[in-house]
Amino acid sequence: QALGWCSEEERQPLLGPSLGTGPGPARRSREAAAALPAAGPGPGRVYGRRWLVLLLFSLLAFAQGLVWNTWGPIQNSARQAYGFSSWDIALLVLWGPIGFLPCFAFMWLLDKRGLRVTVLLTSFLMVLGTGLRCIPVSDLILRRRLIHGGQMLNGLAGPTVMNAAPFLSTTWFSADERATATAIASMLSYLGGACAFLVGPLVVPAPNGTSPLLAAESNRAHIKDLIETVLYAEFGVVCLIFSATLAYFPPRPPLPPSVAAASQRLSYPRSFCRLLSNLRFLMIALAYAIPLGVFAGWSGVLDLILTPVHVSQVDAGWIGFWSIVGGCVVGIAMARFADFIRGMLKLILLLLFSGATLSSTWFTLTCLNSITHLPLTTVTLYASCILLGVFLNSSVPIFFELFVETVYPVPEGITCGVVTFLSNMFMGVLLFFLTFYHTELSWFNWCLPGSCLLSLLLILCFRESYDRLYLDVVVSV
């Protein structure tokens, strides 16, 4: 069957085991073309509804990032309203990385059941999670547990919103729109986390520690009411998105938009064997996972890192916000450029990581101004941190596209699931070390330029290939 994408036959390996080690990309693509069914209408049609599907998925990713970062920007208010400890605040944030532990189960579901079932399950988990946080109970201990349970369920939605973007772009978009669609779908989760820095502090005021006891109790109740307003609003937004996806979120278009979208994929076990035995994939996966994991851990303690140079927590939050927003804008722009000029993913990554290496080195040396005598000003700290975030965050969709091109026909969800799992693992290791060396963080600053330089060298030595793109361009012609 030409379009039976979910049939068992189309889950069988399309290419021989020599992918990446034997014949070159051209021969592999000719084999893929010969393996495609000759009967039925040919692929290559796109539908206007693809933008609606992308919008719904992007809104879901945005909401997941917003819910995940609810508590960080208002942690002082949350401490007073609910009696959260420092460990509680840290755990509320850590539920995001912890949610990636069953990452491969969600990728298996995406591979076997398709986009609609996976997205509906993900959005339903978010509805349950945000709903748990809104249950009105007077017992603060029980209320804190419900909030933790809600954050955990929202964390379980992370693997889908972070990894399914390339799968969605391949399924719905043509070859000259895929990178743009991947960038939009993958960047909106970051943007949601950044917007939490605006939403929380704008609605919830900081506690006033100098008020008399009676006034302080009234202030605590007022802060709690405003926090619950934010929780109810997020619950309503998630319910609307779930209703929209339930009403209309087709698993695939009637006709595939490209040859690659209609072609067969490897089975789940063989995909892992192919990934773990592909040296080029492992090289580029480490180039992604190490610096992005280090940067995620570094961003989480940015306020502590900047405290010795007299930067306030509010300023540190604004630095994080603008670095993420800038990364989203530049990432989408770079992806659009990659769609116009194909086969340039490696060059784009080299440029981005050259900038990231220089920016991180600039920041680290600026913090050592007593030795380097570089000017330590608010402008230099803002500029170096924001540029670093822009360069690293904007590389995410470019990496995703390069992963898929490198190991095609391994399913997109499995490929991206492996690399994001590695990235979260590196972030977890760093956070573990921080629990023992939290009093001295200068060493952490040197991890950034070191990891960026290592990634730059790995990308430079990486031999790129575009098997999926070759299949679309040559076979479709």
The 10s digit of each residue's pLDDT in 324-383 is 888 899 999 999 988 888 888 999 999 999 999 999 999 888 877 667 667 777 788 888
The CATH code of domain 48-256+267-476 reads 1.20.1250.20
Average pLDDT of the chain to the nearest whole number: 82
**Predicted local distance difference test score (pLDDT) of residue 215:** 52
Region of poorest pLDDT, from 125-129, 133-137, 315-319: 315-319
Distances (CA, A) of 29 to 176, 366, 416: 18, 50, 22
The 10s digit of each residue's pLDDT in 167-195 is 999 899 988 888 999 999 989 988 998 88
Band of residue 287 on the pLDDT scale cut at 50, 70, 90:
very high
Region of poorest pLDDT, from 215-224, 231-240, 289-298, 403-412: 215-224
Helix (H) or strand (E) holding 286: helix 279-300
CA angle 246, 400, 462 (to 5 degrees): 165
**Predicted local distance difference test score (pLDDT) of residue 168:** 93
**pLDDT over threshold 80, residue 14:** no
**pLDDT over threshold 60, residue 264:** yes
More confident residue, 198 or 53: 53
Instruction: Say if residues 426 and 293 touch (Cβ distance below 8 Å).
Output: yes
**Predicted local distance difference test score (pLDDT) of residue 8:** 45
**Predicted local distance difference test score (pLDDT) of residue 476:** 54
**Predicted local distance difference test score (pLDDT) of residue 72:** 79
Instruction: Say if residues 152 and 93 touch (Cβ distance below 8 Å).
Output: no
Counting residues of the chain whose pLDDT is more than 70, the rounded percentage is 83
Spans of all domains in the chain: 48-256+267-476
**Predicted local distance difference test score (pLDDT) of residue 6:** 42
The 10s digit of each residue's pLDDT in 74-107 is 888 888 888 888 788 878 888 888 888 888 889 8
Dihedral sign from CA coordinates of 67, 68, 69, 70 = positive
**Predicted local distance difference test score (pLDDT) of residue 157:** 93
Under 8 Å CB-to-CB from 240, ≥6 apart: which residues? none
pTM: 0.82
The 10s digit of each residue's pLDDT in 425-474 is 777 677 666 655 555 566 677 888 999 999 999 999 999 888 888 777 76
Region of poorest pLDDT, from 164-173, 210-219, 378-387: 210-219
**Predicted local distance difference test score (pLDDT) of residue 442:** 65
Counting residues of the chain whose pLDDT is more than 90, the rounded percentage is 32
- Three-class DSSP category at 173: coil
Nearest to 242 by CA among 70, 404, 120: 120
Mean pLDDT calculated for residue range 20-24:
43
